Structure 1
Amino acid sequence: MNEIEDLRKKIDEIDESIIRLLFSRFQISSQIGKIKKERGLPITNEEREIIVREKWLQKAKQLGFPEPFIDSILNLLFSYSKTFQIYPKEKRRVVVIGYGGMAKSLSSLLSLAKQEVVITGRDKDKAERLVNEFNLVYMDPQNAINWGDFIIFTLPPNAIFSDFSNKLMSYAKGKIISDISSTKSGTFGRIEEQSIKYGFSYVSLHPLFGPYLFPVGEKVVIIPSRTSSNECISKVESFVEDLGLVPVRSTVDEHDKAMAVAQVLPHFYLLALSLGIEKLSKELGIDYEKFKTTNFKEVLRLIERLNSIKGVVLEIQKTNPYSQMARDTGLVELNNLFSELKGDKNDSIRGKG
């Protein structure tokens, strides 16, 4: 036992060194963040991340480390390093309407970037739970609209077009209002009409990440409307960059086409795959949990994540104008692959004969 204790003491010493080195690394990241702010550079530098990753993997191979372990460490390291680089150019009055997963995700960033943030919505108790989690402020909806400069609706489309939301928009003259809908063709035009009617500037957003905390370095689509001037768009892009996010400007049609590829088609496959896995395992009478491969584990993680937001996923399938085209394409390619594999099997059988 003394030998084990001695070795554990050495591990403790190494652990302390690791923590100190990580702290030093994050301090340097913070200094880099200040310089990036002064020079107007984005927080995320993908080329640099690729170089660092290649160096780590090369060294890992020399020492015999498994690559997945190194990848996991680097993903965390890159993510947290960027949180230390957030230095906003200015403070803004931001109102988040809603308290769901994406409201929580955005609130975590707004808090990190030291913005002035108010959370509001129909349900005061739910709003205050989010307020308490990130030490923010609650206001009743009308006062929040009057107070804020940037108003972000994190509500589903049906809630955005409710009497409640319409009333709030009627108070928003001179403000900048954004939604975060995943599909724009249905919502964009209607909110744009409201912006013309009530005199606010409308810039639609789509965060290209799921509801998780501190999504620094991720991308956000920015879609200008007829009521968003160049100055307004620049303000929104600067605001997004100050949150440590990467703005990507788009049109409604370009966005919905891109989401047909990036969301509709893979979600369609994964939803079907989820059902197929369960059905096949029952038909075969097999417990696949005991036989999970590395790739299968990753697939199951994706499926689990997708099922946790299944309502949003199905909404995208129903509302994206290119959904049917995406699903038709997916089915054609599945049938092509099925025919190809069936042909290979027949060829193999003929070869044996």
Structure 2
Amino acid sequence: MIDNEISKLRNDIDKIDEEIVRLLKTRIELVKKIGEIKHKEKLPVADENRENEKLNNLVMLANELSIPTQMINNIYREIFKWSKVFQISACKRNVAIIGTGKMAFTLASLIAYGGHHVIISHIYEEEAEKLAKSLNLEYKKLKDLRDSIDIAILAVSPQALDNENFIKSLEVLKHKIVMDILSVKHGNYEKIKELSKLYDFIYISTHPLFGPSHLPVGERIAIIDNPDISEEIKNDVISFWRGLGLTPVLIDREYHDKLMATIQVIPHFMLLSMKNAIERILKELNIDLRKDCFTTNFRQIYDILNKLEDIRQVLFEIQFENPYSTLARKISLEEINKMYLTLNSQVKNP
């Protein structure tokens, strides 16, 4: 009897779920039409004001219907993300991703999804060919890029700029728009700018304000303002990224590195230290880390710690190269020490 009743209710739920999926399909088609209009009128894909207004209205409705607002918030944040993906409609460009790492993978995926022709290349040919194959994209040797591309994105580490073979290979980029994605501009910016003069390419420095991820639509990308570049080229680059669902932010180079010392150097320094501290105290107390005993906050933090571990080398590059990193770490340690002294003066250890 109970089984029959549950079965009937589940059948009703199945019908509702099918209807939800059909309605999502209808929503997607409407979103695509909006995307076509935005592309025609050269409007950005992301519209945060519209999203926030829409979400506030839905949360109010959820309250009226006694539905948990966090549930609605989570569901619609995901719907909004995919809505931006479906609005991507690009004027086709030929883009070379020069790199083989995780950000090369992320950007190649996004740009290819946006309808552009993407070519993977690098001096490390075997790795580049492997990445291209994994994404079902074209691979070409660097020397063969000369007549194949409009834009080149240097998704490489700072060490590549000291590699003579890599530097020499950039001569094929003459008259192309070339962008780097390095997190630290100090020193690296000057090196690439000199190369742009040597090889006569158009250099615009960028920094995706997100890590490796799947289709990071709605995220921001910093564009370093370069007075030597014409407004036409600058607007072309801004339109390129906007067409992929990103929000370009034009900022000064020195401000960029100061900002990254605040929002990258300090958090990464603290979090990497936290990971080490957790591992040490587990050994000191002779206990295992049981995931079924995690608090909600610790679970979220621990997930972040594990993600950062995957890009540890990149994080250390930022720590080494940012010109304000020493100051950032010094202030961090001073504040930790203040907190340590404050707490130890009031708390008795067992």
Alignment pair present for 1:137 and 2:138? yes
For residues 291-330 of structure 1, the aligned pairs below 5 Å read 291-330=293-332
In the other structure, the counterpart of 2:85 is 83
Check the 8 A contact 1:119/1:130 in 2, yes or no: yes
CA distance in 1, matches of 2:27, 2:146: 41
Alignment pair present for 1:248 and 2:249? yes
In the other structure, the counterpart of 1:122 is 123
In the other structure, the counterpart of 2:183 is 182
Task: Flag the 1:232–1:327 CA change in 2: closer, same or farther, 3 A.
Answer: same
1:252: Cα distance to partner? 1.7
In the other structure, the counterpart of 2:11 is 9
Alignment pair present for 1:34 and 2:47? no
Runs of at least 5 residues in structure 2 that lack an aligned partner in the other structure: none
Deviation by residue 1:295-317 (Cα, 9 ceiling, x = unmatched): 11111111111111001011101
CA distance in 2, matches of 1:193, 1:124: 25
Check the 8 A contact 2:220/2:246 in 1, yes or no: yes
**Range 22-31 or range 68-77, more displaced:** 68-77
Give the partner amino acid of 1:159. Answer: A
1:293: Cα distance to partner? 0.9
CA distance in 2, matches of 1:137, 1:227: 33
1:71: Cα distance to partner? 3.3
Give the partner amino acid of 1:244. Answer: G
Check the 8 A contact 2:145/2:172 in 1, yes or no: no
1:152: Cα distance to partner? 0.7
Check the 8 A contact 2:184/2:257 in 1, yes or no: yes
In the other structure, the counterpart of 1:350 is none
Check the 8 A contact 1:145/1:151 in 2, yes or no: no
Runs of at least 5 residues in structure 1 that lack an aligned partner in the other structure: 347-353
Identify the match of residue 73 of structure 1 among 69, 72, 75: 75
CA distance in 1, matches of 2:269, 2:211: 17
Check the 8 A contact 2:219/2:247 in 1, yes or no: yes
In the other structure, the counterpart of 1:202 is 203
Please give the secondary structure, in 1, of the residue aligned with 2:173: coil
**Range 36-45 or range 146-155, more displaced:** 36-45
TM-score, normalization: structure 1?
0.91
Percentage of identical aligned residues: 39
Matched length? 345
**Range 294-303 or range 327-336, more displaced:** 327-336
CA distance in 2, matches of 1:62, 1:276: 46
Check the 8 A contact 2:207/2:223 in 1, yes or no: yes
Task: Flag the 1:46–1:4 CA change in 2: closer, same or farther, 3 A.
Answer: same
For residues 32-111 of structure 1, the aligned pairs below 5 Å read 32-88=34-90, 90-111=91-112
Alignment pair present for 1:162 and 2:130? no
Alignment pair present for 1:278 and 2:314? no
Deviation by residue 1:243-288 (Cα, 9 ceiling, x = unmatched): 1111111222111001001100001110111111222233223344
Please give the secondary structure, in 2, of the residue aligned with 1:170: helix
Check the 8 A contact 2:257/2:324 in 1, yes or no: yes
Task: Flag the 1:226–1:269 CA change in 2: closer, same or farther, 3 A.
Answer: same
In the other structure, the counterpart of 2:231 is 230
CA distance in 2, matches of 1:9, 1:261: 53
Check the 8 A contact 2:46/2:84 in 1, yes or no: yes
In the other structure, the counterpart of 1:192 is 193
Task: Flag the 1:65–1:310 CA change in 2: closer, same or farther, 3 A.
Answer: farther
1:25: Cα distance to partner? 1.6
Deviation by residue 1:37-76 (Cα, 9 ceiling, x = unmatched): 2333211111222222223333334444444433332232
Please give the secondary structure, in 2, of the residue aligned with 1:184: coil
Please give the secondary structure, in 1, of the residue aligned with 2:217: coil
Give the partner amino acid of 1:190. Answer: K
Check the 8 A contact 1:192/1:225 in 2, yes or no: no
Task: Flag the 1:344–1:60 CA change in 2: closer, same or farther, 3 A.
Answer: farther
Check the 8 A contact 1:216/1:243 in 2, yes or no: yes
Alignment pair present for 1:19 and 2:21? yes
Please give the secondary structure, in 2, of the residue aligned with 1:84: helix
1:102: Cα distance to partner? 0.6
